[in-house]
Amino acid sequence: MSLAPEDTAGAAPDEHTKDSLGIRALIFTRDRGIVVLWILLIIVFSIWASPFFAKWSNAVLIANAAALTAVYAAGVAAGAISGALDISLPGVAALAGVTCGWLLTHHVSVVVGIAVALLIGLAIGVVNGLITLRGFNPLIVTIGTLSATSGLAAVVAGGYTITGLNQLTFMGTRHYAGIPAPVWIVIALYIVLTVFLTQTRDGIRFMAVGGNKEAVRRSGIQSNRYRVLGFMISGFCAALGGLITTAVDTSANPAADPSIIFTALTAVALAGVALTGGRGSLPRVLVGALILATISNALTIKGIQPYWGTIVTGLLLLAALGMEKGVETSVERRLMAAAQATVHSGKK
């Protein structure tokens, strides 16, 4: 039995509503799924690792443990959003840390030492950006920078760890209102970068360059400027991370830690930041860093060996990438189907 015209007209809105709800659900999963995952992990671990996990003191420990990853992840995310993935962070962090440490041991003021370290990060970001603009692959460029800065860090420190750097405890081991200093630094960093990316004209252009730099260039916007800016933000965050590490350890180690880039990339990927540029949310990146710290903390409380945490994190990363790809494909397919349905209904 065929439907009457009025029945068909009544069925179409229902189908359209269903598709709209489906698309909204998929977009919610993509944009808010990581927050839901973190909440679920907290609930599960509060039961599994009771009574030690669900305590304020433990929450502070988790936040402090996530702080360093969050700083590096902010740099990786900012670079990736602008289409400039930077993996030189470990070397830049080591160089910034030992440079500040060397200056402090030579009786230079703390303010100058910190400023020089941060300027080094910015300068290396500019160098990376300018070389990349010559047509070189950003990945290869930053691998070269990683090697060069790691070597320079060893030269500055003479191959030895610089110890006794108690001048930086105010940004490392000290607590303010019961919260560790690194956590306050992360809060300030993420507020500034989030406001820049979402509330300023340059920030919106910055994200647009990562999405389609050619289209942005044709619109009259200097895309090269924003690509260099991406590397500068990444270099600044790397230097800041190196300073925090130095402050917490009260020593500066010239050896670049390769795990920095792994954990940062994991947090960024969990947050659904497109490594090809154009899309990403720093608050979600922060949640990604907190998820990694939460998993590690719960396993430690239960006395489980750390390598299991690495396994779980790797599997979680693969699952997040798979879900991201699946959600994107589903959204595109549904939007395409909705557009075709609109065209067909218009022809009728």
Q: For position 82, what pLDDT does the model report? A: 82
Number of other residues whose CB lies within 10 A of the CB of residue 27: 13
| CA–CA dist 26, 194 (Å, integer) | 24
Q: For position 278, what pLDDT does the model report? A: 61
SS3 313: helix
| CA–CA dist 274, 255 (Å, integer) | 30
Number of other residues whose CB lies within 10 A of the CB of residue 44: 12
Tens of pLDDT along 18-57? 556 665 665 566 667 788 888 999 999 999 998 999 999 9
Residues above pLDDT 90, as percent of the chain? 53
| 146: exposed, middle or buried (Cβ count in 10 Å: 0-12, 13-18, 19+) | buried
Q: For position 53, what pLDDT does the model report? A: 93
**What does DSSP say about strands 175-176 and 162-163: parallel, antiparallel, or unpaired?**
unpaired
Residues above pLDDT 70, as percent of the chain? 80
Q: What is the pTM of this model?
A: 0.86
Taking 3-state DSSP, the helix, strand and coil percentages for the chain, each rounded to the nearest 5, stand at 80, 0, 20
| CA–CA dist 318, 249 (Å, integer) | 32
Give the rounded distance of the alpha carbon of 104 from its chain centre.
30
CATH class of the region 63-321: mainly alpha
Looking from the CA of 228 toward its CB, the CA atoms found within 13 Å total 14
| CA–CA dist 283, 216 (Å, integer) | 25
List the chain pLDDT tens, one digit each, 348 residues.
Answer: 444 444 444 445 555 555 566 656 655 666 677 888 889 999 999 999 989 999 999 999 999 999 999 999 999 998 888 877 899 999 999 999 999 999 999 999 999 999 999 999 999 999 999 999 898 888 899 999 999 999 999 999 998 999 999 999 999 999 999 999 999 999 999 999 999 998 998 888 888 776 666 666 667 677 788 889 999 999 999 999 999 999 999 999 999 988 888 889 889 988 888 776 667 789 999 999 999 999 999 999 988 887 787 787 788 778 777 776 676 677 667 767 666 666 666 555
CA angle 238, 244, 246 (to 5 degrees): 105
Q: Which CA distances in Å does 132 have to 74, 141, 210?
A: 20, 7, 14
Residues in the chain, total? 348
CA angle 272, 274, 279 (to 5 degrees): 90
Domain boundaries, the chain: 63-321
SS3 245: helix
Tens of pLDDT along 144-171? 999 999 999 999 999 899 999 999 999 9
Contacts of 313 (CB under 8 A, 6+ apart): 266, 292, 295
Taking each helix axis as running N to C, give the angle between helix 306-347 and helix 259-270, from 0 to 180 degrees, rounded to the nearest 10: 30
Contacts of 202 (CB under 8 A, 6+ apart): 196, 226
Phi and psi at 148, nearest 5°, equal -65, -45
Spell out where the chain has E strands: 162-163, 175-176, 179-180, 251-252
